[in-house]
Chains A and B, each alone.
Chain A
Amino acid sequence: MSILWRLLWAAISLAAAGCMGFVATERGEPINSIWVVIAAVCTYLVGFRFYATFIAAKVMTLDDLRATPAERLRNGHDFEPTNKFILFGHHFAAIAGPGPLVGPTLAAQFGYLPGVMWIVIGGVLGGAVQDFIILFCSMRRDGKSLGAMAREEIGKVGGFTALFTVLLIMIILLAVVALVVVNALKDSPWGTFTIGATMPIALFMGLYLRYLRPGKVLECSAIGFVLVLASISGGQWISHSAQWAPIFTLTGIALAVIVILYGFLASALPVWMLLAPRDYLSTFVKLGVVIMLAVGILFVRPQLQLPAFTRFVDGTGPIFAGKIFPFCFITIACGAISGFHALISSGTTPKMIGRESHALPVGYGSMLLESFVAIMALIAACSLQPGVYFAVNSPAGIVGVTPDAATATISSWGYPVSAADMGTLAGDVGEKTLFYRTGGAPSLALGMAHIFAKSIGGQAILGFWYHFAIMFEALFILTIIDAGTRVGRFMLQDFLGHFYAPLGRTSWMPGVILTSAAVVASWGYFLIQGVRDPLGGINSLWPLFGIANQLLAAIALCVATTILIKMHGAKYMWITCAPLAWLVVVCFTAGWEKLFSDATRIGFLAQADQLQQALDAGKIAAAKVAETQTVIFNARLDAVITGLFLVMVATVLIDSIRVWIGILRGTRDTRINETPFVPTELRPEEI
């Protein structure tokens, strides 16, 4: 490295340390978000340049002379050597979901600092390392899935547990993201019309692509995007219409039923009709809005209005209950470390890598960009006035059922807000009210709308930008719901096919309908549970999802550690063991608290016991008895699922440790299951 480069990297490192130090120590006055942006970006650059290249060179020994599966098994479909920049975009589009947007928004209840530190440090040392190493392992094994690698490297128990965990996590994931959409659209005719309009638009796109202009996906997506923008404007008109507004003003339960029916239809209908066109559209909108948000933040440079730490680090937060440790670290999953990424890193991407060295920017770099998306979401949420942030995100069961009661409660916490201010803000964004909109999406949309409005159009079009942001979030959440339901259906059909062969056939309509209904009913049950929950649903479902996602990351890191030990003995196992140990401590602490905490807002069993005692003592009104019994059952069900997650991951962990000890003692097979070396014949111009 030349002296100039050394000086440049020294300057970047100093900027990272200086800005992070400023962000971490500044108290009292609001700080400008640009400090957070510089701290994050410089840390990512240092992590990528030094830590990731160290792993690539010393641990993986990436070899560009070795033919990748994309070259050896090239078939023009799955296996195809692809330009590294294009694959970077492809992989990023695949890993970026609502998680890095919603998680940091919810975790902002602790203040901006815990979220910033966890997203940046967790991303560089945990999430990006996991994605990179799993991508490398899969690439060296002909693109094998995480489950297949777990079975091969750890054993049958690990493999089966990984598969079962994925199915269970998907059910919780689908319920929680559906809840986010339902809470965002509740009593919002503008939002409901806009999102409702995306369904006929997607159907039109499907027919356009199949029969009118086959293969013209970009042209079709551009038309779809224009129609979606028109539907946002149409939604404004609907919200002012005395005739139409009531039709699109729906309760949470009504919206939940519609989303459940939608999930069923999207799973059972042919893919080309609804799922694929919506997916194309949502991918482009997602990438476009992420770029817009980055430019907007750099242009506006908003002040962070929330403090570094709020009073809710003690566990009494209104959005979700639980102390900063461990709940901050499970609430923010996808922006720091996400087990689901391991499924993508062992899915399509390893089959498209043309040179081994491309795994570095694609695997490690994409996760850093995802981490930066989480930072931007945190900035958007923290740029709101704290009183507004808590008024939007707190459930009525905590702050009071009237606007005056809610604002009085929130103001008493030291975050002043008035019902009149909230009414003005709601009017500015074209909503009747912004109170009790739990789930994170509306507060994030508010933050984004303010940033966009300051960049283009001003306050006059704040309502358009708010609903544009809601459309952006809902569009790809619905894509996850329909694709996830379909994948769940395939998994169930695969399993049931062992008992009755026709059920395993994806073309047998009764089987398709039965299994689609079963999957939809599973996540729909949790969705209805969340909608009816007086504490807003997010309080119980998001931590459950966070624990599940982080536990999947623990399984991925177990697989990665096993492979590193087989390659190098104990020398480099700290690279994956450090994040693994952290995740195990965080997830098991959170899981234990969700099971056994005496605080009724945290512990599922304590909540069930308290309600049961009230029921037994006759303290529950007759009209509420059935509802209370359902809440008790749901709390116990959530406890069972949390326990199941912990047992499954403990099984994989113990199984892995047994394998590691065996390898290190020399009593187990240390053979690496990589495909043999074949020299590359790929010409540079081919990638």
Chain B
Amino acid sequence: MRRFWCFVRELMKELSDQNAYARHLALHGVPHSGEEWRRFSEERMSAKYSRAKCC
């Protein structure tokens, strides 16, 4: 049961881009800040929303 909830939490963090943001911070070795989130989300969203969404 614990593993299941762990999976659900991880899936939600992946879907919400929070995991991707954590990877971004680790990769660039920078701490979390509003400015860093805005930089990350702009880059991520411009890639994400240049592709068609499925019907």
| A86-B11, A218-B13 known; A211-B53 Cβ under 8 A | no
Within 8 A of A (CB), among B1-50: 7, 10-18, 20-21, 23-24, 26-27, 32-34, 37-38, 41-50
B16 lies within 8 A of A218 (CB): yes
B14 lies within 8 A of A479 (CB): no
B11 lies within 8 A of A483 (CB): no
- Contact surface of B with A, Cβ cutoff 8 Å: 7, 10-18, 20-21, 23-24, 26-27, 32-34, 37-38, 41-55
A93 lies within 8 A of B52 (CB): no
Residue of A nearest to B11 (CB): A89
27 intermolecular pairs with C-beta atoms under 8 Å apart:
A83-B10, A85-B7, A85-B11, A86-B11, A89-B14, A89-B15, A90-B11, A90-B14, A94-B53, A95-B54, A97-B54, A98-B55, A177-B55, A209-B37, A210-B37, A215-B18, A215-B32, A217-B17, A218-B16, A272-B41, A276-B41, A276-B49, A340-B52, A348-B48, A483-B52, A487-B49, A487-B51
Which residues of A lie under 8 Å from residue B48 when comparing CB positions? Answer: 276, 348
4 closest pairs, A vs B, by CB? Answer: A214-B37, A217-B16, A76-B27, A214-B34
Which residues of B lie under 8 Å from residue A343 when comparing CB positions? Answer: 51-52, 54
| A94-B54, A487-B49 known; A77-B20 Cβ under 8 A | yes
A218 lies within 8 A of B12 (CB): yes
A217 lies within 8 A of B54 (CB): no
A334 lies within 8 A of B55 (CB): yes
- Contact surface of A with B, Cβ cutoff 8 Å: 75-78, 80, 82-83, 85-86, 89-90, 93-99, 166, 170, 173, 177, 209-211, 214-215, 217-218, 221, 271-272, 275-276, 280, 283-284, 287, 333-334, 338, 340-341, 343-344, 347-348, 479-480, 483-484, 486-487, 490, 545, 549
Complex-state Cα separation, A75 to B14, whole angstroms: 16
Which residues of B lie under 8 Å from residue A97 when comparing CB positions? Answer: 53-55
Which residues of B lie under 8 Å from residue A95 when comparing CB positions? Answer: 54
Most chain B CB inside 10 Å of its own CB: which residue of A214, A221, A490: A214
Per a CB cutoff under 8 Å, which of A77, A93, A479 touches B15? Answer: A93
Which residues of A lie under 8 Å from residue B45 when comparing CB positions? Answer: 271-272, 275-276
Residue of B nearest to A88 (CB): B11
Residue of B nearest to A275 (CB): B49
Residue of B nearest to A345 (CB): B54
Complex-state Cα separation, A479 to B11, whole angstroms: 20
Per a CB cutoff under 8 Å, which of B18, B23, B43, B54 touches A218? Answer: B18
A479 lies within 8 A of B42 (CB): no
Complex-state Cα separation, A93 to B48, whole angstroms: 14
Residue of B nearest to A80 (CB): B23
Residue of A nearest to B32 (CB): A215
B14 to chain A, nearest CB (A): 5
Q: Is the interface of A mostly helix, strand, loop or mixed?
A: helix
Which residues of A lie under 8 Å from residue B43 when comparing CB positions? Answer: 77
| A479-B53, A484-B52 known; A86-B20 Cβ under 8 A | no
Which residues of A lie under 8 Å from residue B38 when comparing CB positions? Answer: 210, 214, 272
A215 lies within 8 A of B15 (CB): no
Which residues of A lie under 8 Å from residue B51 when comparing CB positions? Answer: 343, 347-348, 487
A590 to chain B, nearest CB (A): 17
B27 to chain A, nearest CB (A): 4
A338 lies within 8 A of B11 (CB): no
Complex-state Cα separation, A205 to B33, whole angstroms: 18
Which residues of A lie under 8 Å from residue B50 when comparing CB positions? Answer: 486-487, 490
Residue of A nearest to B35 (CB): A214
Given contacts A209-B41, A218-B16, 15 further A-B contacts (CB under 8 A): A89-B11, A89-B15, A90-B11, A94-B54, A97-B54, A173-B55, A276-B41, A280-B16, A280-B17, A340-B55, A480-B53, A483-B53, A487-B49, A487-B51, A487-B52
Residue of A nearest to B46 (CB): A271
Which residues of A lie under 8 Å from residue B16 when comparing CB positions? Answer: 217-218, 221, 280
Which residues of B lie under 8 Å from residue A96 when comparing CB positions? Answer: 54
Which residues of A lie under 8 Å from residue B11 when comparing CB positions? Answer: 85-86, 89-90
Per a CB cutoff under 8 Å, which of A85, A217, A272, A486 touches B18? Answer: A217
Which residues of A lie under 8 Å from residue B13 when comparing CB positions? Answer: 218
Complex-state Cα separation, A328 to B38, whole angstroms: 47
